[in-house]
Amino acid sequence: MYNISLKGKAVLITGAAQGIGRCITLKMAEAGAKGITVVDLQGGKPMERLQKELEALGSEVIVHTGDVSRGETIKGAISATTERWGSLDILINNAGIARRTDLFTTTEELWDLIIAVNLRSVFLGMKYAAEVMKEQGGGVIVNTSSIAGVTGGNTGPEYGASKAGVIALTKFAAKTLGKYNIRVNALAPGTIGTEMIKNAYKDLSEEAVKERLSTIPMGRMGEPEEVAKAALFLASDLSSYVSGDIVMVTGARMS
Ligand SMILES: NC(=O)c1ccc[n+]([C@@H]2O[C@H](COP(=O)([O-])OP(=O)(O)OC[C@H]3O[C@@H](n4cnc5c(N)ncnc54)[C@H](O)[C@@H]3O)[C@@H](O)[C@H]2O)c1
């Protein structure tokens, strides 16, 4: 029997306040992570609640509030992590946003915003974490892409493009960081029941929602917990020879 253990590990995760990020964070604590730095635009109640839950599971916590598309947020969170626990072993680049648009209605500003939050943040996280991980002799990075990064999706031009960029960055980083014992993979979730999907579906009729879900071979949305389990696999030694991979968590949806 193999135990999935993150005992002694220092983890940094972005977009932790809710949804998939919150679930992944709790999984890291359940697996025994020593310390977890949670980064999000949101502070306040959601983060206080998360901190209490993580501490109850035995992990120490740093709450870092800020915008992940800004270098200073990422550098600050990484420094706080290494100062407190002496290493950064696992980075989960999860924060992201989505807006329903098309080429007619979107704007240059929205393009810049979504590319900054979804793609620039992943570049920044990997750039600054790689320096620390190289120095300490290794580490693990898990990025959150999307099925939209493979198919183009139907959320909007910038969302699919940002998530395709995450896939390219993941592969580039895996190839160039492998020699430093740094593994890099991405998750590509399908339709997962979080606030993001609630917002995306809020203007659709019941019929339209049913039609969307009927395109999923497994016939249902995924739970954030199901993405978190895949994240735990990628973050742990269970995936010790997996790098440069895109793990689809889509209930067999492929288009
Ligand atoms: N829900 C899905 O169906 C789905 C599918 C594929 C990919 N994803 C991806 O999974 C990730 C998590 O999505 P979710 O569904 O949990 O979304 P969510 O909206 O429930 O949570 C996203 C979190 O990111 C935080 N965040 C947003 N912008 C930020 C910024 N600039 N700086 C710091 N934090 C920021 C939010 O405050 C929030 O806590 C995203 O990258 C998303 O694109 C989600």
Q: Which CATH number applies to 10-249: 3.40.50.280, 3.30.70.20, 3.40.50.720, 3.20.20.70?
A: 3.40.50.720
Q: Which of 50, 93, 97 to mutate to test the pocket of ligand 1 (most atoms within 8 A of CB)?
A: 97
Kindly report the CA angle at 42 between 36 and 45, in degrees rounded to 5? Answer: 85
**Position in ligand 1 atom list of the atom nearest CA 159:** 43
Reported as a single tens digit per residue, the pLDDT across 183-222 is 999 999 999 999 999 998 988 899 999 998 999 999 999 9
Give me 180's structure tokens.
């430093």
Q: Which residue's CA is the closest to the ligand 1 atom numbered 23?
A: 15
- In this prediction, residue 3 carries a pLDDT of 77
Reported as a single tens digit per residue, the pLDDT across 147-186 is 999 999 999 999 999 999 999 999 999 999 999 999 999 9
Q: Give me the active site residues, please.
A: 159
Q: Tell me phi and psi for residue 127, to 5 degrees.
A: -60, -50
Give pTM, 2 decimals. Answer: 0.98
Bridge partners for 39 per DSSP: 14, 64
Q: How far apart are CA 255 and CA 108, in angstroms?
A: 27
**Position in ligand 1 atom list of the atom nearest CA 199:** 19
Q: Which residue's CA is the closest to the ligand 1 atom numbered 12?
A: 20
- In this prediction, residue 113 carries a pLDDT of 98
Q: How far apart are CA 144 and CA 247, in angstroms?
A: 10
Q: How far apart are CA 65 and CA 175, in angstroms?
A: 31
- In this prediction, residue 193 carries a pLDDT of 97
pLDDT band at 68 (very low <50, low <70, confident <90, very high): very high
- In this prediction, residue 2 carries a pLDDT of 73
pLDDT band at 107 (very low <50, low <70, confident <90, very high): very high
Q: 1-10, 58-67, 131-140: which has the minimum mean pLDDT?
A: 1-10
Q: How far away, in angstroms, is 163 Cα from ligand 1 center?
A: 12
Instruction: Reply yes or no on whether the pLDDT at 99 is more than 80.
Output: yes
If you average pLDDT over every residue of the chain, what do you get? 97
Burial 61-70 (b: 16+ CB within 10 A, else e): bbbbebebbe
- In this prediction, residue 186 carries a pLDDT of 99
Lining ligand 1 with CB less than 6 A are: 14-15, 17-21, 40-42, 67-69, 94-98, 117, 144, 146, 189, 191-192, 194-197
- In this prediction, residue 93 carries a pLDDT of 99
Residue type, 234: L
Q: Which of 67, 100, 196, 227 to mutate to test the pocket of ligand 1 (most atoms within 8 A of CB)?
A: 196
Bridge partners for 246 per DSSP: 186
Q: How far apart are CA 236 and CA 135, in angstroms?
A: 20
pLDDT band at 46 (very low <50, low <70, confident <90, very high): very high
Q: How far away, in angstroms, is 98 Cα from ligand 1 center?
A: 8
Q: Which of 162, 194, 213 to mutate to test the pocket of ligand 1 (most atoms within 8 A of CB)?
A: 194
Instruction: Reply yes or no on whether the pLDDT at 106 is more than 90.
Output: yes
Mean pLDDT of 119-146: 98
Q: How far apart are CA 73 and CA 158, in angstroms?
A: 23
Q: How far away, in angstroms, is 2 Cα from ligand 1 center?
A: 31
Q: How far away, in angstroms, is 26 Cα from ligand 1 center?
A: 16
Q: How far away, in angstroms, is 35 Cα from ligand 1 center?
A: 22
Mean pLDDT of 114-122: 98
